[in-house]
Structure 1
């Protein structure tokens, strides 16, 4: 019985992690309008010195946001904007911007 419970919990963790890592494009679009568009443009086209985000690889973009969030990547403005983002927000943003390159 104990083994079944462990298997069930592990399976649930795998499914949940996959869902988050997949990202929700619509949720990412909403979060982008709130958190990113002011500097990176409404469609992620980039503005001034701020780079374009449209079409970035989802995994690489998420890793970059996680690095800003945990402070391992420097950039005061991006660290400030990424600090309140949840793991789900980050994967949703990455999915949204990746979808703009499709």
Structure 2
């Protein structure tokens, strides 16, 4: 009696790329997908983000620093005041939420951001993340960069 050993199936490069793309879409993507309010709830369990409220917050001057998000990160989050400040426009919704929560909770430190985020509610963080995630993206990966 011959005995055969099952081998795991090999995944080709195209299939691997598609699986990766599906995984990314499940974790990030368009904050407005599937929701008439324009945003989705986060994987962190924060409330559903609201675009209009996020835009208002992004343009409001913070009490702690007298600056707005737009003052430092630029219009639509794509024109930072300083090269060391990140572009926020088109960034993943969940990433933005997690970063702002970390600033608020003292797990991530920055002289301005820690102060700006200190008094933000979960809803305000969700709103800001929804707004910046919905903006046009100038982000790019470094695939093939030399």
Question: Could you state the TM-score of these two structures normalised by the residue count of structure 2?
Answer: 0.54
Higher helix share: 1
Give the C-alpha shift of residue 78 in structure 1: 0.6
Is structure 2 residue 62 aligned with structure 1 residue 36? no
1:85 alignment counterpart: 120
| Larger RCO (CA within 8 A; separation ≥ 6) | 1
Instruction: Say whether the 8 Å CA contact 1:33–1:42 is kept in structure 2.
Output: no
2:81 alignment counterpart: 47
Moved more, 43-52 or 90-99: 43-52
- CA RMSD of the aligned region, Å? 1.8
Is structure 2 residue 100 aligned with structure 1 residue 74? no
Aligned counterpart for 2:52 among listed residues 26, 29, 34 = 26
Q: Which has the larger radius of gyration?
A: 2
Deviation track 1:39-86 (CA, whole Å, cap 9, x = no partner) reads: 011221122232211001001110000000000012121100101211
Question: Could you state the TM-score of these two structures normalised by the residue count of structure 1?
Answer: 0.75
1:14 alignment counterpart: none
| Structure 2 unpaired stretches of 5+ | 1-40, 61-67, 138-146
